[in-house]
Copies of this chain bind each other. A is one copy, B any other.
């Protein structure tokens, strides 16, 4: 886990990777940076790199989970999750301008909301803004990326002590900052993932089956959808890398055809609480039973966000070669943990996996089996004990992962 990158260079190198490879900021472009106040150090580095890359304007939105907690705890319930008009207008403007978007993750206090009423916590999510933002992603109107900002609280969650340096080293390895040429290393990495996506595309599986302790799940696929890696393009053809790190090959499943039970293999940090031992049962595409040893409430409320929230929007395959997996760590952060193991997401579908989907209305997407929702929550279901098979239209099973090793040739 030792990283040869010097700490002072690491911050700049990650900021540069986020700007040049992640969002791939174009000269003259407007850039939006989203982070928490605790992320200020990396935010500042990203802003400088964005201007250095030729951004015309870089706007920063600093969030603060403590202020959301105050609203949940002390504010009037009817205002929770309120989306002010100026913010909706702002999100609309992002789409019209075709902005670059760099979001920072890394929760300084993952259990800040753990003692609050889960129903209120779920209510406090800005649903309209989220839905408008997901729509921009679906329509490929922004070149976006999510990167991580190591901080004391997050390090404490991972290591039991606020060892930010150790967390930085883990992050640097996961995002290939310790390679001699990180940009070239990313290119090679993405080429490998793309090749694997092509292997899956050639098979035209009808469904993916996960089998392991507590899991017997079939996820129906769309014959119109393709497998992708994170290597993405905007509607105008600008390449970007939505997640850094990324190790997944994913597609939009047919939201109507998920069946069976699934047990999560990692804890999940979501909405200011930790969800442990999550188990779901799906019938006719819908999650109809929910169980968890902690955070069950927040999942239940998320699934009730809108009529499509309890249907799948994504299925993704990650093997044991993942740089995140090899760290052996639980990062308690979806950007990392979803890249350590196969995962599924309930809520909004990754519609760009379906060619032409960016021109479809929400109603047309739904009619084609592509999910539309105001939320999108990934959770991890893979691991060495979970077999992953592709099911052919005739019903025959083809091994994809055994013991987390890629099986297709």
Residues of A in contact with B (beta carbons under 8 Å apart): 37, 40, 43-44, 47-48, 51-52, 55-60, 62, 64, 66-67, 70-71, 73-76, 79, 82, 84-87, 89-90, 93
Contact = CB atoms under 8 A, between A and B. Distances in A.
B64 A40 contact: yes
A181 B52 CA distance: 53
17 contacts: A37-B37, A37-B40, A43-B67, A44-B66, A44-B67, A47-B67, A47-B71, A48-B70, A51-B71, A51-B74, A56-B75, A57-B84, A60-B67, A62-B62, A85-B93, A86-B93, A89-B89
Nearest to A61: B62
**Majority DSSP secondary structure for residues of A touching B:** helix
B59 A84 contact: yes
A90 B74 CA distance: 24
Contact of A70 (B47, B70, B89): B47
Given A37-B40, A51-B71, A57-B84, 14 more contacts: A37-B62, A40-B64, A43-B64, A44-B64, A51-B70, A51-B74, A52-B74, A56-B79, A57-B82, A58-B71, A58-B75, A86-B86, A86-B87, A89-B89
Given A37-B37, A70-B44, A86-B90, A60 B52 contact: no
Contact of A66 (B47, B67, B93): B47
Q: How many copies of this kind of chain does the complex include?
A: 2
A74 B48 contact: yes
Contacts of A58: 67, 70-71, 75
Contacts of A66: 40, 44, 47
Contact of A51 (B60, B75, B82): B75
Contacts of A67: 43-44, 47, 58, 60
Contacts of A40: 37, 64, 66
A86 B87 CA distance: 8
A70 B76 CA distance: 39
A156 B212 CA distance: 59
Nearest to A87: B86
A55 B75 contact: yes
A47 to B, nearest CB: 5
Contacts of A37: 37, 40, 62
A62 B58 CA distance: 15
Best-surrounded residue of A57, A67, A84 (most CB of chain B within 10 A): A67
Contacts of A60: 64, 67
Contacts of A90: 84, 86
Contacts of A89: 86, 89
Given A70-B51, A86-B90, A57 B75 contact: yes
